Amino acid sequence: MTHVDLALYGVHAAFWAAFGLANLASRRSSAPAPGGTGAPRTEQPQEAPRSRMLLVVHMVAFFGLYFGIAQAVLPAMVPAWFPGQRIAGTAVIAIGAAMMCWARLHFRSWRFRAHLDSGHELATSGPFAIVRHPIYLGLDLLALGTTIWAPTIVIGAATAVVLIGSDLRARAEEKLLLTAFGTSYQHYARRTRRFLPGLY
The pLDDT value recorded for residue 29 is 62
pLDDT above 50: residue 140: yes
pLDDT above 90: percentage of residues in the chain: 62
pLDDT at 182 over 70: yes
| Selection from 70-79, 144-153, 172-181 with the highest mean pLDDT | 144-153
Q: Taking residues 116-140, report their average pLDDT.
A: 88
Question: What is the average pLDDT across 132-145?
Answer: 97
Q: Which of 149, 26, 53, 133 is nearest to 92 (CA)?
A: 149
Residues 20-30 have a mean pLDDT of 80
Binned at pLDDT 50, 70 and 90, residue 180 comes out as confident
Predicted pLDDT of residue 84: 94
Predicted confidence (pLDDT) at residue 113 exceeds the cutoff of 80: no
Whether the per-residue pLDDT at 3 is higher than 60: the answer is yes
CATH class of 3-24+45-191: mainly alpha
In angstroms, rounded to a whole number, what is the distance separating the alpha carbons of residues 73 and 80?
Answer: 12
What is the rounded CA–CA span in Å between residue 183 and residue 171? 17
Q: Which helix (H) or strand (E) holds 176?
A: helix 153-181
Helix%, strand%, coil% for the chain, nearest 5: 65, 5, 30
pLDDT confidence of residue 196: 92
